[in-house]
Amino acid sequence: MLTIYGACRSRATRTLWLAGELDLAFTHVPVVQAKRLENPLAADAPINTQSPAFLAINPMGTIPAIEDDGVVVIESLAINLYLAKKYGGDLGPKDLVEEAAMLQWALFAATEIEAAALKISAASLGEQTDEVKATIATAAASLNRPFDVLEKHLTARTWMVGERFTVADINMAEIVRYAQPHAPLFVERPALKAWLERAQARPAFKAMWEKRLAEPATGPV
């Protein structure tokens, strides 16, 4: 039995979206970030990233994590690659070449895009002071090169790997999404913009996003 740990307002969105695409049966344990709680170790505190019960699953105290018939995986992109390969059918790799491409794009998203995109996401939520605007501009500038790589790649194809929607699209889209508040990055890259819109138009994404919006928020995730 698959258990997914992580609130919807976290990187667990990546795994919850994939589980929806795969129509997987799973138990969802909505572990929240400890920073969202006044006293995460209080007796009446909801399960969170400092709860001993969760730290027994993931000693790093990060979400998401999964337990799948005794197998524990704790990094979101690795979780998705694992689930897609085990359960994915067309969403997983067909061969070693596709598997390498899916690994490549996951690492590319994590190392070249995520940090700067998260800065845009967080900064866009607050008052748009000159300092905040400068933060967004700097982060956006650092995304020009990786986004140009994606634009070139997607100009020639509909999806990231294998000309079909796969876990590579989920992993990439959920990281690129953080930069969406800065529209110029996408206006200047129509292929990237169209690809992200296609991905986010999928029913499984919309179902995941509805659950995310329904969850109380205390800060950017």
Domain that holds residue 96: 92-205
What pLDDT shows up at residue 220? 37
| 190: Cα within 13 Å, side-chain hemisphere | 1
Residue 214 pLDDT greater than 80, yes or no: yes
Cα 160 to Cα 158: distance, rounded to the nearest angstrom: 7
81 in the same domain as 57: yes
Does residue 100 form part of some domain? yes
For residue 114, the Cα-to-chain-centroid distance in whole angstroms is 9
Average pLDDT over residues 150-167: 97
Question: pLDDT tier at 218 (50, 70, 90 boundaries)?
Answer: low
Strand locations in the chain, DSSP E?
A: 2-5, 26-29, 65-68, 71-73
Question: pLDDT tier at 219 (50, 70, 90 boundaries)?
Answer: very low
Cα 184 to Cα 111: distance, rounded to the nearest angstrom: 22
Output the average pLDDT for the chain: 95
Strand locations in 81-146, DSSP E?
A: none
Does residue 165 form part of some domain? yes
Cα 109 to Cα 171: distance, rounded to the nearest angstrom: 8
Q: What residues pair up with 68 in beta bridges, in sequence order? A: 2, 71
Structurally, how many domains does the chain consist of?
2
Does residue 124 form part of some domain? yes
State the first-to-last Cα distance of the chain, in angstroms, to the nearest integer: 27
Other C-beta atoms lying within 10 Å of the C-beta of residue 167: 28
69 in the same domain as 51: yes
pLDDT in tens, 122-145: 998 888 888 888 999 999 999 999
For 5, the 3-state DSSP assignment is strand
pTM above 0.85, yes or no: yes
Question: pLDDT tier at 221 (50, 70, 90 boundaries)?
Answer: very low
CATH number of the domain that residue 37 is part of: 3.40.30.10
pLDDT in tens, 3-35: 999 999 999 999 999 999 999 999 999 999 999
Q: Are 111 and 185 in contact (CB under 8 A)?
A: no
Short-list 92, 65, 57, 67, CA closest to 162: 92
Q: Last residue of some domain: 53, 87, 121? A: 87
100 in the same domain as 61: no
183 in the same domain as 100: yes
